[in-house]
A and B are shown apart, each in its own frame.
Chain A
Amino acid sequence: MKNDFRLTYPLWMMAFIIMLGVLAFGLNSPITEFVNTHNETSFTIKLEALEGFIVLCTIILYFTLLAIFLVRLNKHNKENPAQKISPFAIRPPEYLEQDEGMTFITRKAVQKVYSFITFALPFLATFAIVLPVPRLLIIYGILAIAFGQYWIYYTEVRKHFKGETE
């Protein structure tokens, strides 16, 4: 059970989210800043080559990770024909619902995630409305919430599998 793919599924999603974050940085942060005050004149920094490198590396890493993920998914589906996971399923595949005990653990984790989301989303929306935050920061906010929800779910479920003995 400890090696059940559904248990590690949130970790995969967290890795993909980190990749998206790096990709967002590469695609959204060409720094072209102009400052003209009493004390300063101006300076412009462009990191196009670096950004291009970051984007390229991230895309390669992303597809490598995706390939490994699909291999692991395929392996899980072969080993667990009764509990197949579809990569296109709308229902989160990390739900453990084989019986009432597992459903209880899943429900506890989902409740914690829901509590987090009900706080985090309005907070982010308010933050974005009130402050003139750049687009990249809003993207990072959304990714941070997505990362957070998987982290909460994973740690809550994992907690119950610690110190498993027969």
Chain B
Amino acid sequence: MLRNRVKEMRARHSLTQSDLGKQVDVTRQTIAFIEKGEFSPSITLSLKLAKALQVDVNELFWLEGEKEDEK
């Protein structure tokens, strides 16, 4: 399962879901689905999100069980 830190990074940049959605050209709902883990975004959208949140895509998304802090 794909895990993410979108909500945390978005808060760090003081962005609303709508703001972030506009930056990456998706609806606010799609940002909410990603944050809730209901939807795994495409590579294109993942890269767009990483760029918008100014982080490496690996910092933003990772597979469950692959991060040290999850163990």
Contact = CB atoms under 8 A, between A and B. Distances in A.
Contacts of B16: 166
Main secondary structure of the interface of B (DSSP, over half): helix
A95 to B, nearest CB: 14
A97 to B, nearest CB: 11
Interface in B28-70: 28-34, 38-39, 41-42, 45
Interface stretch (A57-65, A99-107, A120-128, A131-139): A99-107
Nearest to B32: A164
Interface in B12-31: 16-18, 25-31
A108 to B, nearest CB: 9
Of the candidates A100, A161, A166, the one having the most CB atoms from chain B within 10 angstroms of its own CB is A100
Interface residues on A, range: 10 to 19
A1 interface: yes
Contacts of B41: 100-101
Contact of A100 (B26, B28, B32, B38): B26
B18 A164 contact: no
A100 B30 contact: yes
Contacts of B28: 1, 166
Nearest to B29: A1
Contact of B34 (A1, A101, A164): A101
9 contacts: A98-B27, A99-B25, A101-B29, A101-B30, A102-B29, A160-B29, A165-B32, A166-B17, A166-B18
Interface of B: 16-18, 25-34, 38-39, 41-42, 45
The 3 closest A-B pairs by CB, nearest first: A101-B30, A99-B26, A101-B33
